Structure 1
């Protein structure tokens, strides 16, 4: 019989304590086999990855990786969560977004959501695509406003929408102490979206009234989505939100509110992406940074930043949209683990138009599964104590603070938007990311990787055109799939006009063991541009290449095999294909100077540039 020690299980005490240098030595051996002769810290650096904002993700984190004290959940600096009990009291607020303009349809969707797990409503009111302010009462017919918090997104019509919501509270007997939600004023966010000058007067007025009469109602939203949707990095999103929050603090305190009251009037909205660790770190860093702002402003007891996380619109794809369910699940997980107070999961068909009932159901059930079946909220700060997460949180906070200071030096958020400084910074970040997307260093499943040309398109009712996408002067909206979507749209138009997609003949040289990997690579690559791969007889050689190419109905060809067989056969087969009428002969592999080969495709090449040029050559408009 084994007797346990008095303090419990011995766990790893029976194992020898490894040194960091021992691990590095093992890494050196593995790298040496792959042709990289590096030693010591250089071996570790060879396995490190540079991510956005210049942050470096290392292959191993240990207790030597220092980070600032994260404190305790519910206490400053709130890195570990805004509440001492975390989300254990019932999980995060499941907030569904609604953009229907017809009040009857909106009411039907709202009631269905509330009956099936949604706990608060995010309504687009007024403007393009929102329900008219005058129809808000009908849209909320049958909704218990004392139980279901309402968050408005009314843009320039904020003043009228706020007045109408408060009128409904009074009309339906919802007391001032009972009202919950957010009136949604965000003049700087609206300025970022539209390019207009921010109008703070109405926002300040409603913040004063909420502070005096409605303790559970907030007036202001600090929406960081405009910066995320313009291509900004996590640090830029955080820095812009801090600068916006500080601008609102100044306006509210100048109007007579104390710092604590001003902080209580704001809710911060952030994007949650499928990079769950970055999402976790971003939300933790945001609370820490805002706690620092509050402390500097003299309100160390202002409490934690109130956070609303929204699954990223940038990551949503139009092709193979079913994959968006996986993306939003990861994003929701990251938001929950990161400590968001409210989470909105965008429907998987968000990029295609107005979501249907099935898509809304899947969206709300994503949170339900994570809360009720995965029990994600039963652990307070699940990522706390992870050396990787703590270090990533600290490094991201430092990068965000540097951008925030840059904005402040330029005169504050309004001045930085007006001068174009923020727009230029975000554009540069997106340009760099676009290069990675084009080279598939950042793959997009179903679009740049593993596309399906035969997939059945998902069709939805068109959503109203966003104001900032019509050239009104605001920040642009970008998507990760946009460059590949242009290519696929060209292929679709060609199919509709001719009855056939553009084709590429894949000439496989040698046995399956030699050509399968590169044939799969080439097939995947060309389909990302809507070009249908045609497989000829296997294997093909110089004697059979011409006939096989003509039979395939393609206009270009690509050789696929091993480097050894390329050296023996590539030149002869390429020349045979050229003689058979191939407009362009590609080779899947690194450039090798083979006779008859016009272009090479390989991992890391600019796929968008290659495919765009090829479609031009093939006469695909």
Structure 2
């Protein structure tokens, strides 16, 4: 045993690792393993001590990248701020009371008209809870009404200093969402912030909400640059209204959506604090006022309607990244939020945070990412690029001007198109949606989203701008699944593509499995044949499976030996049928396959979404024509 204990592995150098790696890569270089993110940051396959850069010795110091508290969550635990869903005031009151007994540590819900039209309603919901728990509310366009009602409630008890947390709004984010900019709304909002500053000394009210840009497809660089531009805009606004700099900084809170790229999201939160600290230093604000407070939420952009339980893994990953990144408030979305959450899914969402606190022990670890060569390098790269993006926004006149000119919307769209292309070609996997889809799944499609227009509450004048769309990565494939389901209901059978399986199982299985996965992403069924060893086998299969679409599956050798001959014969006999080939022949052979009748080669780099869209559209037209005939 002592011998085993004393054994040691020989030290290896980076050059030795590189040599071994390139040996495994069979001629490719280690540099071929580098990847480029949507932020245009090049990620290396290995980070070493040579990548180390100076970082603050402890959290709560220097640029705050390591967090704003010296002892992290040991002394300042993050707030469990689950946004409670509700239909009635009574339901919200009941849920709020129950949630505090089950681990909730903040008053958090979306503000509805029912709450703000009556002082009695809000008083009934809050009772005495505002004395014990902080608020965590993005009140959006209803902030003015909500704060007015809250003021009346609290005034009776004389407990203004007991109100803490944040009840915020971000007019610029609302403008971006709704596609209109109102200076009158902005002026009303600024006056309200000044008033609430006098009444609620411990309440943050100026929210910088990057979630709408995140849902539009923005990169981490863009989110950070926009956050800084909005922050600077609000600093100027409120200085003009008479607030002191320390007061303005003390009223601000930043809200970020946390996406699926684990390390990028950690770095995003760390970089945000670096950037805000840089701005606060320029303004000469005291450290205790300039510390960035962050409210985080798991991303709706990454969530799916199909196979919704996978959302549990996504939300868990995102919540983990948020906590490691050093947030102060956290909301975890229920896995079935897109179709209507239940008490069970809401409880699970809250428990994800409790697991991170109590079982993962994250509340006991101070800055777990600190000193990681990879995370620190990523943080620095992200901060540098985000500062450049922020400077570009300012050079173009500031956040409102880049919205008015549509420059910002176009920049975000460029990034979304890259992300969407990667999903469509399945370079980026969404489990249960574009890979490993389950055709037998019973899907409840998205509940109707009620879009609020906060400018209709009062006669505000406004300027129309291009709205930032509310998107999800899985949306296009969900539309395909919905269309396939519609066709099945209308015509009585699931859209099907016949698989002409050449040779024995060993010869066609790999490409058959690939095609099944490819087709199910769009709700199409693959009907596979028995091993096709002759033209008669293929003809019999086509006659027994009345579908318009067929795909050849086999090895390249099988395609040469029998595939070409079978295709030529079938196309002559059944000219109305459409044939595909699983694989990608050599360039000089592609033309002869196309001449023989192959419409498209389907392979690992194919645009899955475009191919399946074309099939479904043609199926719909042909079925309608058959019905009319």
Q: Same fold (TM over 0.5)?
A: yes
Shift of 1:478: 0.9
> For the residues of structure 2 that align with 1:351 and 1:540, how far apart are their CA atoms?
48
In structure 2, relative to structure 1, the CA distance for the partners of 1:178 and 1:143 (3 Å cut) is: closer
Tell me which residue corresponds to 1:159.
144
Q: Which residue of 1 aligns with 2:393?
A: 407
- Quote the offset at 1:395 in angstroms: 0.8
| CA deviation map 1:64-99 (0-9, x unaligned) | 114352442011311011111111236321111235
CA gap 1:18/1:193 in 2 versus in 1, 3 angstroms: same
CA 535–304 in structure 1, closer or farther in 2 if over 3 Å, else same: same
* Structure 1 pair 388–376 and aligned structure 2 pair: CA distance change class (3 A): same
Change beyond 3 A, Cα 1:212–1:540 = farther
Find out whether 1:148 has 2:142 as its counterpart.
no
RMSD of equivalent CA atoms: 2.5
Using the TM superposition, name which of 297-306 and 237-246 deviates more: 297-306
The alpha-carbon deviation at position 340 of structure 1 amounts to: 0.9
- Structure 1: stretches of 5+ with no match in the other structure: 4-8
The one of 492, 497, 509 aligned to 1:504:
497
1:483-516 C-alpha deviation (Å, 9 max, x unpaired): 1122112111111111211101112222333222
Corresponding position of 1:18: 12
Secondary structure of residue in 2 paired with 1:146: helix
Query: Contact 2:215/2:301 (CA < 8 Å) preserved in 1?
Result: yes
Q: 1:619 is matched with which residue?
A: 620
Aligned to 1:241: 227
Residue matched to 1:256: 242
State the partner residue of 1:124: 110
In the alignment, is the contact (CA less than 8 A) between 2:406 and 2:466 conserved in 1?
no
Q: Quick check: 2:298–2:315 contact (8 Å CA) kept in 1?
A: yes
Residue 326 (structure 2) aligned to one of 334, 339, 358 = 339
SS of equivalent residue, structure 2 residue 161: coil
Instruction: Please list the CA deviations of residues 26-85 of structure 1 after superposition, one character each: whole Å capped at 9, or x if unmatched.
Output: 2221222xxxx34xxxx2220011111111111100111143524420113110111111
Q: Deviations over 1:422-463 (max 9, x none)?
A: 111111111122111111111111111111111022468644
SS in 2 for 1:299: coil
| Structure 2 counterparts to residues 456-535 of structure 1, below 5 A | 456-458=442-444, 462-465=448-451, 467=453, 473-535=466-528
**What are the within-5 Å matches in structure 2 for residues 78-477 of structure 1?**
78-89=64-75, 91-126=77-112, 131-134=115-118, 136-137=121-122, 140-142=125-127, 144-171=129-156, 173=157, 175-194=159-178, 195-198=180-183, 199-301=185-287, 302-352=289-339, 354-458=340-444, 462-465=448-451, 467=453, 473-477=466-470
SS of the residue aligned with 1:585? strand
The structure-2 alpha-carbon separation of the partners of 1:113 and 1:574, relative to structure 1 and needing over 3 Å to count, comes to farther
Aligned residues: 601
1:587 equivalent among 564, 581, 584: 581
Separation in 2 of the partners of 1:539 and 1:143?
75
Change (3 A) 1:465 1:452: farther
Return the alpha-carbon distance in structure 2 between the equivalents of residues 91 and 300 of structure 1: 23
Check the 8 A contact 1:93/1:341 in 2, yes or no: yes
Partner secondary structure for residue 533 of structure 1: strand
Pair 1:150–1:201, CA change in 2 (3 A): same
